[in-house]
Structure 1
Amino acid sequence: MDLFESLMQELDEVSLQEFVVVARRVWWRRNCFIFNNDFKHPKSVIREAHATLTLLNGENNNITTSPSLTCRSPDVWTHPPPNWYKINWDSSVNKQKYQVGVGVIVRDCKGHVMATMRHNKQMYPDPLLAESYGALQAAKLGVDLGLRQIILEGDSLQVINTLHEDRDGLSSALMFLYETKVLLKQFAKWEISHVRRNGNVLAHVLAKDSLSISDLAVTVEDVPQCIFHLVQ
């Protein structure tokens, strides 16, 4: 974190984005070797990072909104079926501090709060990147809790549509969503759904509040103070 804060003071926005993308590719190369035994030449990091920077804006713009899905999306939160859990997430950004805040809330078929997560992450504060990272963190929380049947729900239609699609890509947002889809396969049953902002208020408040904490806060069968007045 100290390194990133120093870079924020020294680098302009373009250079900082280049650093984030290269660091991401280094991390991706390491995971490919550890988990897939796939060794990539170090030069591929720079080559793929360059391709990512070239395609980042274009690929993000290609994540389009579906008008038909917008019309069908509910405006209020709805209960999941019996023996299912609904995991709602939302993300916020602080562009001045290069921070992304993620809020996640897990509720059962009766609407009871089973768990929450607030996560403050130092990263490039792009809204689409933040929502994609939030989806990944929401899926990870479900896996960590040992849930078997889940509905992953958010208010970013771009992210929801992309999770439904069978494709990956070079941009950081698409890589986060690819990892999310890999994690979803660990559940016995899972669904992805879109809800409008009014139906995602608790996750939104958690995301906003996460920008005020230092790192990570997880609660199990407890309600954080920031949403206590909203939970009935």
Structure 2
Amino acid sequence: MSFVHIWDGLVSRHNKTELELIVCALRTIWLQRNRLVFEGKLKGPKKVWLIARLEVKDFHQQCGMTQIVGGVAKGTLMKWSKLAFNWFKLNWNVAFCEKNKRMGGGIVVRSWESDLVAAAGWSKRFITNPLLAEATTLERATYLRIELGLYEAIFEGDALVLINDVKGKIENWSWYGQIVEDLMLFFYHNNNRQLKFIPRIGNNAAHILVKLALGFEEEVVWIEEGPREILQCVDCEKL
């Protein structure tokens, strides 16, 4: 049976969203085959499926991204929406290098008037999975809120899989479930703490910060200031 016949069968039985996931899964399997042949390493089926889900998510986010020139997004830009008085927004993001098992985490904190309150960036080694990197970064953001003495806060990120898990309100038995359970307790029935998904185009400041953070040897925290690229992005989103 030719690939065309197999593909026709898949198209007739699955919708567009399912086909995207199937394509990413097949690509991941092919890459794993190459890795087995040349490196003698192989990931299990659960890891392959997880990678496929993350690739689909990244594909949709990349479709909505704008080109970044000099650290500031050009073209379509999601503008800042003013918050209620005395509310703060913590945007968080992660960059993950699977080859080096290294992550960069970043958090950008802004006031209800979009003024930069703080920023934090760091890198860690021996992180084995993007979801673990995202979960630990959101967890760090909850601690940063306490350290800054913020009461009412919105946590925004583009890690849709993690956010859905945290907001799922059911017991999580995944391998990173303990962190998810802790985050559930933090957000559950707390009107002064909100967790929201935002497309990467609206998470630009944190996205830029994590690229810088990959080069950090230890956590760096700025109060009412930050790297030039972050300041430019924050100012641009105010306009």
Normalised-by-shorter TM-score class: 0.5 to 0.7
Corresponding residue for residue 192 of structure 1? 195
User: What does the per-residue CA deviation read over 1:97-147, in whole Å, with 9 as the maximum and x for residues that have no partner?
Assistant: 211111101101100010111021223342222222221111111121111
Identity %: 24
- Paired letter, 1:143: I
Change (3 A) 1:216 1:125: same
Rg larger in structure: 2
Output the CA distance in 1 between the equivalents of 2:206 and 2:138.
12
Equivalent of 2:166 in 163, 167, 181: 163
Superposition CA RMSD, Å: 3.2
Q: Distance in 2 between matches of 1:185 and 1:146?
A: 20
Whether 2:215 is the aligned partner of 1:208: answer: no
State the partner residue of 1:79.
82
Distance in 1 between the 2:120 and 2:98 partners?
Answer: 21
SS of 1:90's equivalent in the other structure is: strand
The letter for the 1-side match of 2:99 is Q
Alignment of 1:45-194 (within 5 A): 76-184=79-187, 189-194=192-197
Match of 1:26 in 2: none
Q: Determine helix, strand or coil for the equivalent of 2:216.
A: coil
Residues 114 and 234 in structure 2, CA contact (< 8 A), matched pair in contact too = no
Secondary structure at the counterpart of residue 115 of structure 1: strand
Contact 1:75/1:196, CA 8 A, preserved across alignment = no
- Distance in 2 (alpha carbons) for counterparts of 1:13 and 1:119: 29
Partner of 1:231: 234
Gaps of 5+ in 1: 1-11, 18-52, 66-73
Task: Tell me the TM-score normalized by structure 2.
Answer: 0.63
Question: What is the SS of the residue equivalent to 1:160?
Answer: helix
Paired residue for 1:39?
none
3-state DSSP class of the match of 1:231?
A: helix
**CA distance in 1: counterparts of 2:50 and 2:100, whole angstroms:** 25
Distance in 1 between residues matched to 2:127 and 2:230, nearest whole Å: 27
Contact 1:100 1:211 in 2 (8 A): yes
Conservation of the 8 A alpha-carbon contact between 1:115 and 1:221:
yes
Q: Could you report, residue by residue, the CA deviation over 1:196-217 in whole angstroms, capped at 9, with x for unpaired residues?
A: 1111000011111111001201
State the AA in 2 paired with 1:90: N
* Structure 2 Cα separation of the partners of residues 128 and 217 of structure 1: 22
Greater Cα shift, 104-113 or 160-169: 160-169
The letter of the residue matching 1:81 is A
- Closer/same/farther in 2, CA of residues 114 and 57 from structure 1, 3 Å limit: same
What is the aligned residue count? 177
Shift of 1:189: 1.1
> Do the aligned partners of 1:60 and 1:128 also contact (CA within 8 Å) in 2?
no
Q: Does structure 2 retain, via aligned residues, the 8 Å contact 1:77–1:195?
A: no
Counterpart CA distance in 2 for 1:146 and 1:76 is 26
In structure 1, the residue corresponding to 2:121 is in which secondary structure? strand
Q: Offset of 1:85 from its aligned partner?
A: 0.5
Distance 2:180 2:119 in 1: 21
How many angstroms does 1:175 deviate by? 2.3
**Deviating more after overlay: 182-191 vs 120-129:** 182-191
| Paired residue secondary structure (2:203) | helix
Deviation at 1:180, TM superposition (A): 2.3
